[in-house]
Amino acid sequence: MRKRFSSVCSSSSTEEDSASLYDTVPISAADPPDEQEHPYASLLCCHRVQDSLLSSNSSFTGYRGILNWIIILLVLTHAHLFLENFIQHGYLIDVKKVLEHLIEDNCNWPSVNLILAANMFAVTALLLERSQEKGVLSPVNARRLHLTNLGFLLLFPAAVIVHEPTISTGGAFFSLWFYTVLGMKLYSYQEANHWYRQARLPDAETDNNVSVAQRVHNEHLTLRGLYYFFLAPTLCYQRDFPRTPKVRVNKLLHRLLEMVIVVQIMVAIVQQWIEPIFQRSEYSFSTMDITMRVEHLVGLAAPAHFLWLLFFFLSHSYLNFCAELLRFGDRHFYGDWWNATTLIAFWKNWSIPCQRWCHRHVYTRLVENNVPPSRAELLVFLMSAALCECMIALPLHSCRLWIFFMMVAELLVAVFLGNHFEGNYGNGLVWLCLLLGPPLAVTTYFHDHYISSPHHHHHHHPSSSSPLTSDRRLPGSVFLKPH
């Protein structure tokens, strides 16, 4: 019996025991006495080889309770911050101040005129495609004219934003964003039509086939088809987009309500949380000492990250609103980037329309021209980083390359640390880079723009009040240093 009992204990220590600790093993009356198990075998053999749940070797994944605890702790912590902010600064939310950054001269609306002028470039692209279809222009000359049209499209808004003093900051941002999207769409429009013509030529053996194919293609070269593509939430052109059966009005109103609420929350975070931090500074980030820089960056990390997440949700609502309104069927605008274990996986899932355009029209073309895939990916990434830098720096009339270098730093982290952080650790590294990465760099641009604006100097002069008064109004501010 002792031998039998020992063998039961040894086997149970190496195998998974699916039975409960309190389950008893019945004793069969047919078994001989020396083969019967010990009556308390299931109670005495209570140990087996297994890892702790939180160890790296464990396959345990049920962290929902810890996630709930973190959420509750974050809510309580930020509720305390909001309360402290309200006691310290009072109620600062004012929608009229937002309109000051959008309203332009009543007699001159440069941003509106700039957006209306974009129709000229769109119609030019359509006329070039029709001329090429009729044989008036050769493919080489048509492509040169297309690239010239795109070059003017990119330079025109930049020149207006730089040299037009009456354009508002908000109008400059919206105009530049609009022209950037239009330029990417027009490039896809001309290249996709070129591919359609190339695919059609080998099948056209007779003149009759040529005329039929040309007539079918001309049906898509219309103003209606062009402007549907411009309004559709995609950057890649094709002849026929997948369509949904009808417009769901309830979904449309739901997305519209989401956009209104999210914009209000973003305005509240900027005015109630970020602007008081800006007011505590009289210097730009480039002239601060290292301790002041770290103090401001730590204070701006949380609100900048929240704004970034809200901007993502606003994009989600806006793209789905446009898709529902136009019955656009492909709603795959992003992947599960929040589960990304590497920064490369995050970049591929963050914005599917941009990633799809870059892969279709840049990466693939580079590889076709014998550029190594790794180098092609690097060039695409650097192009994206430069574009993000221009989108922020140009409307603010300040180019400090913070966003570009921050994205390059993330690339170095992905290359040199990506293999050392996998699974949950890799996902944690991704979230850390998102918290301290480009959103914080964008906020530093707006910090320096706020410091240099006349509005800041009007409301906040260090020389107009004593250090004691400034300290009482803004505790912990930089005015504690001697003047």
pLDDT digits (tens, 9 = 90+) for 217-261: 567 789 999 999 999 999 999 988 999 999 999 999 999 999 999
The answer to whether residue 200 sits within a structural domain is yes
Burial of 322 (0-12, 13-18, 19+ CB in 10 A): middle
In a domain, 133, yes or no: yes
Task: Assign 31 to helix, strand or coil.
Answer: coil
- Residue 434, domain member (yes or no): yes
Same domain, 210 and 288: no
Q: Which residue has the higher pLDDT, 273 or 41?
A: 273
**Is there a single domain that holds both residue 286 and residue 366?**
yes
**325 and 459 co-located in one domain:** yes
Whole-number pLDDT of residue 294: 85
Q: Does the residue 443 lie in any domain? A: yes
Q: Tell me, yes or no, whether 392 and 326 share the same domain.
A: yes
The whole-angstrom separation of Cα 381 and Cα 385 is 6
Q: What is the mean pLDDT of residues 74-99?
A: 72
Mean pLDDT lowest among 76-80, 187-191, 195-199, 332-336: 76-80
Same-domain check for residues 157 and 292: no
Average pLDDT over residues 431-444: 88
In-domain check, residue 291: yes
Tell me which of 244 and 53 has the higher pLDDT: 244
Complete DSSP assignment for 103-129: ---TT--HHHHHHHHHHHHHHHHHHHH
Position with higher pLDDT, 374 vs 453 = 374
Q: Are residues 443 and 274 in contact, defined by beta-carbon separation less than 8 angstroms?
A: yes
Among the ranges given (244-258, 279-293, 454-468), the one the predictor scored with the smallest mean pLDDT: 454-468
CA distances to 82, 92, 99, 468 from 87, rounded to whole Å, are 9, 11, 26, 19
Same domain for 399 and 336? yes
Partners of 243 in beta bridges: 328
Q: Could you tell me if residue 102 is inside a domain?
A: no
Furthest CA-CA distance within the chain:
106
At 465 the pLDDT is 36
Query: Do 311 and 355 reside in the same domain of the chain?
Result: yes
Label residue 388 by pLDDT band (50, 70, 90).
very high
Least confident of 89-98, 234-243, 414-423: 89-98
224 shares a domain with 296: no
For residue 168, pLDDT beyond 50: yes
Is the sign of the CA dihedral 405, 176, 238, 189 positive or negative? negative
pLDDT (0 to 100) of residue 469: 35
Residues 116 and 189 in one domain: yes
Residues 170 and 35 in one domain: no
Question: 79-83, 345-349, 402-406, 426-430: lowest mean pLDDT where?
Answer: 79-83
Nearest partner of 447 among 277, 226, 330, judged by Cα: 277
Task: Supply the pLDDT for residue 4.
Answer: 52
8-state DSSP, 328:
B
Whether residue 199 sits in one domain with residue 275: no
> Mean pLDDT, the chain, as a whole number?
80
Helix crossing, 290-326 with 249-269: angle to 10°?
Answer: 170
Do residues 456 and 450 lie in contact, with contact meaning Cβ atoms separated by under 8 Å?
yes
Residue type, position 259, single letter: M
Of 333, 308, 123, nearest in space to 233 by CA: 333
- In DSSP terms, 438 is beta-bridged to none
State which residues form the domain around 37: 2-44
Amino acid at 303: P
> What's the structural domain count of the chain?
3
Kind and range of the H or E run holding 252: helix 249-269
Domain match, 330 and 435 both: yes
Q: Which of 189, 212, 231 corresponds to the end of one domain?
A: 231
pTM over 0.75: yes
